[in-house]
Structure 1
Amino acid sequence: RSLPPVSLTGIRAFCSMIQTNLFRNLKVLLFPVVLGTQSIVSWDPVRVPSLLEISEGQSVCPYKVRVYVYEFDESLPFNELTIKARLRPRGTHFDGEHLLAQFTLEHVLTDFFTQSCIRTKDAERAHYFFVPFFSDIEYRAMGRPNDPSAHGEAILNIIEKNDTKLWVQRFGVTDKYWQKAPERHILVQAAPVTGFRHPKGRRGWHHYKIQLTAPIFISLEVTKSWILQYPRCASKNIVMPYPIPGRAWHDHEAPDAWNVLAKQLIQSLYEKKIINNFERPLFALYRGGRHGCVNVRQAIAKSLAADSEIATITRSIDHAWSALGHRGPTARQVLMHTATFCPCPEGDSPSAKRQYDALLAGCIPVIISDDAVYSYDHFASPHRAYGYALNVSDFAILVSEQDAIQGKLLSILRGVSPSQLASLRHHGRRVSNLFRYYHPGSYPIDPLVKQRYPNGGAPSLLTWDLDRRLQVDQTNPRWEKCQHEITNEPHSDLTKQFCGAPPKQQELSRLRAQLQRRGGSKELHRTIQDWEDGHVFRFRRRG
């Protein structure tokens, strides 16, 4: 059979068919991530003001907070690399949906702070100081060394040794404000398993520990166990969504374009006999590599593939997409817009970009990572302090890693009722733009490449957060509370990754036996307490 001609009427009929036949014709397609065919809706503020087009130079700025952005010479290596990559984006951080694009938070926030109305060029008036250092692009261009770059070393010397000499020498700017208020500086951690140092194979909390220093760290990830271990320190830092670059995600015509592309791909797969019936909607969509929690990922694939009504697509789908001559959106992202559920296991760390991709594509994320948090969820204590936090279960399905390993995933998804599905989609649409860096509009070229002003919900909520810190921190400084937490409370450490249910009774027996034999430190008592309180989402050993 052939598809009807592509038209707006046909697209709407296609979307309607997917919705009405969702429970009558269930089909699961194995491929990375999933999403429904819901259109991208205009931003719902959810009690948070929107920045939209309010940028630097506007006569009215709705915020009192002011941020000074350090100005570094363009000849510095990380600036030269950025300029070069923007001119020739292919294969770089600026290449739309390239793998490296998810690590562009430093660039997105630099574009935001330099163009926002909250920027001040008078450092004496500033409440915060933003450091536009592009660590990730420099790290990868240098061959991914373990040691920090020259400029990374200068920053580490400040926050670890209170030594600003290299900052002045290498960045060529004053150290006056570092000396005066290191806790009011903003640094960005662009990737979850690297920082200013890049030791290979280190997991657990290793890459988070730099956040126990004075500056405010904006990062893509921390975990539930980390927040429970250092709640006061976690509250001084900010977790933001993974950037989702690429023109198609932001252009106002994207919803129709996605559906056209999806129909092309589905027809190709049907003709190649990779799927049996392109008219049936995709019930779920998943494909993942063998990394991170391999046992969990294998269990997801096995659970979905075991059903006789499920089509398993592996690399065949990539070849089919390539044969159509498409560049830009990947086949995975296109098919997100034709599915209902998106299984999202952890990657090299507990969170993953796909948990945000899914929401923007209209899919229902299925979070299969016990230690993962969303930005702005109820574990994000800065937002909780202001009476604002997202309830992840409103827009995502949470499946424990142990349930996935035991093969329960498919039965859980099939057990979602039509009313539950409608509620999940409603809340997903309501919050999705809080995870956008660019408000839907007209984007002939990727907005990150053109340094367009990031006016989406994510930077709006960031500004809202910084603005409210002014009032809270005047009477209750977060950095002082963090210092007290570090020095006056015992802490356990997480140095390994464990996938599945933590061995609670086994570890408690071992730790209690150790306590009886040799007595125990405060740290050992804290570790036992963490296990007893259910604060362990990963295998934990004392450092």
Structure 2
Amino acid sequence: MSLNTQLDNGDHEAQRLEPLVQPAMEDEKAKPVPKVPYFPTLPGARNRRNSLCALLLSFSLLILLLHRCCLRRTLPAVSSPGVKLSILPFESSFEEESTAFCSAGRIYVYDLPSRFNADLLMQCSSLVPWTDLCPALDNNGVGIALDLPSWLGAGFWYYTSQFGGEVIYHARMLEHPCRTRDPDKATAFFVPFYAGLDVARYLFVPSTPKQRDELSHMLLEWLTLQETWKRHNGRDHFLMVGRITWDFRREESSMWDKLWGRSGWGSDFFLTSEMKTPLRLIIEKSIFDGQEVAVPYPTSFHPRTDSHLVQWQAIARSAKRSLLFSYAGGPRPQFVNDFRSLLLDQCQQAINSCRSFDCSKQRCEHPLPVMELFVDSIFCLQPRGDSFTRRSIFDSLIAGCIPVFFWHRTAYLQYGWHLPANSESYSVFIERKDIRDGKQIKSILQGFSQRRIEKMRETLIASIPRFVYKVPGNSSANFRDAFDVAVDGALRLTQERIQKQR
């Protein structure tokens, strides 16, 4: 029995089963950046409730998948021009900032060979086999603007991939006020390698370990030749990785791996000797690896100004919440005693008190249906996702919906730099065993007084800046966001590690 299994008391839900499926977007490359309306169903599939159409669609997708698995052993040809970072040129005035402003130190951003980042971004239409990711990675990683109802506010919602953090962090690092072009002045070194975009190319098509490892090994070979790396053997280096840690810790082949014709899952990037020293900012960390720090998943909310943030906080604060609790997510019926199915069952039984949104049948990657549900809810159920964490956690936090957790590793043992220190001040924890034994979630949540609920919600709303990412390259906002918290922490931790080495 693995350590992960022991810690989670025998719950056999998958750490990773399926990717985020992004819908096709219209007018993807039109300039200026278009606003995309929300459709409750995929274009051309509005009759999906009709069982015959659904069956034919499923059969067609199966044939397409089999065709790709059998015939395409290499990456598909790029079908669109891709996207690029569009950050203003580095200004020398940044170098003149006061020492007090950059008291934590300065950051050197490597200008890596393009194969490690820019080329991958240009391949956005072919990184995964079923969709074009360019609309979700454009605009410096936040994606194209969305046209949503006026009650959600205007000008700060984007079609963002939950795995787009590498691009966002790279763009923000290029405009960081404490960035230096002189490596001798640097306290820390940022490595803008798009490891997540790289490995994603091979996760869902037949691939070999060599294919999945090749680019990351090339990156490490390049890095270790740099004098800046040799200075502290990489202890003053850090990078942001936009996928979960388990995608870079290849183990023995599972049943799913064999079904997909691959040897194990993911790459061995984090298992290499060179990766024992750099700090890794990542959307889900291994709690057993001291080199990793978890940072928030990118959501679709990206305020450009301080007023955008204040406007949304007012919306979340004044929302008339008609539901006691809600759940957005799909079940995992392929697993015995699926915990998610228990949550869905309890939600369905709590008539007029709960509403669910089944992400296995509808579009959870678009913010509108999820935010509508969460803003209308007092509590949001947050079980583990395909791995221990899920983007939905941060959707609920932004909505001012009090999260209900069932695993400590879903949030408490992950996002220590960003979440309030006192978990009871903003969330509820329920033991999974109690739910399996028949305890009703509704009765537990009804035990919270209105005064305590309001206090917890206010804690969440006040903390929203620490959960969101400002728009890179086009933001006048002054509040400190999730990126600022993460980079400040990385600088502080780097200083501590170098001092201990001395």
Corresponding letter in the other structure for 1:221 = E
CA deviation profile, 1:348-403 (whole Å, cap 9, x unmatched):
111111111111111111112243234775xx4xx69xxx9722221111112222
**What pairs up with 1:329-348 in 2 under 5 angstroms?**
329-348=367-386
Structure 2 distance, partners of 1:305, 1:90, is 35
2:423 matched to which residue of 1?
Answer: 392
CA deviation profile, 1:198-220 (whole Å, cap 9, x unmatched):
976679xx997569711111111
Structure 1 distance, partners of 2:311, 2:485, is 28
Deviation at 1:128, TM superposition (A): 1.6
**What pairs up with 1:135-534 in 2 under 5 angstroms?**
135-141=195-201, 144=204, 145=207, 147=209, 148-155=212-219, 158=220, 164=221, 167=222, 175-180=226-231, 181-192=233-244, 193-195=246-248, 213-222=276-285, 226-227=287-288, 233-234=289-290, 236-246=291-301, 252-253=307-308, 281-291=322-332, 295-310=338-353, 312=355, 314=357, 329-374=367-412, 380=416, 390-408=421-439, 409-438=441-470, 447=471, 456-469=480-493, 472-477=496-501
1:82 aligns with 2:135: no
Instruction: Give the superposed CA RMSD.
Output: 4.5
Extract unaligned runs of 5+ from structure 2.
1-92, 126-131, 145-156, 258-263
Corresponding letter in the other structure for 2:326 = L
Structure 2 distance, partners of 1:411, 1:68, is 53
Structure 2 distance, partners of 1:216, 1:425, is 33
Change (3 A) 1:191 1:407: farther
Contact 2:109/2:181 (8 A) holds in 1: yes
Matched residue SS, 2:403: strand
Contact 2:306/2:479 (8 A) holds in 1: no
Deviation at 1:63, TM superposition (A): 2.8
Corresponding letter in the other structure for 1:418 = Q
TM-score, normalisation: structure 1 = 0.56
- Of 414-423 and 90-99, the range deviating more from structure 2: 90-99
CA deviation profile, 1:495-534 (whole Å, cap 9, x unmatched):
xxxxxxxxxxxxxxxxxxxxxxxxxxxxxxxxxxxxxxxx
Contact 1:135/1:152 (8 A) holds in 2: yes
Matched residue SS, 2:346: helix
Extract unaligned runs of 5+ from structure 1.
1-54, 159-163, 228-232, 267-278, 439-446, 481-543
The structure whose residues are more often helix, as a share, is 1
Change (3 A) 1:197 1:129: farther
Deviation at 1:280, TM superposition (A): 7.3
Contact 1:66/1:127 (8 A) holds in 2: yes
- Of 127-136 and 143-152, the range deviating more from structure 2: 143-152
Change (3 A) 1:316 1:361: closer
**What pairs up with 1:53-68 in 2 under 5 angstroms?**
56=94, 59-60=97-98, 61-68=101-108
Deviation at 1:475, TM superposition (A): 4.0
What is the identity percentage for the equivalent residue pairs of Structure 1 and Structure 2? 18
Contact 1:287/1:314 (8 A) holds in 2: yes
2:111 matched to which residue of 1?
Answer: 71
Matched residue SS, 2:389: coil
- Of 357-366 and 178-187, the range deviating more from structure 2: 178-187
Change (3 A) 1:476 1:311: closer
Change (3 A) 1:207 1:353: farther
Deviation at 1:304, TM superposition (A): 1.9
Corresponding letter in the other structure for 2:469 = Y
Paired residues in the alignment total 366
Structure 2 distance, partners of 1:88, 1:308, is 38
Change (3 A) 1:208 1:421: farther
Corresponding letter in the other structure for 2:433 = Q
Change (3 A) 1:303 1:119: same
1:3 matched to which residue of 2?
Answer: none
CA deviation profile, 1:248-302 (whole Å, cap 9, x unmatched):
79894588789999xxxx9xxxxxxxxxxxx971222213212498621111111
Deviation at 1:245, TM superposition (A): 3.6
Change (3 A) 1:313 1:345: closer
Deviation at 1:102, TM superposition (A): 0.9
Corresponding letter in the other structure for 1:432 = I
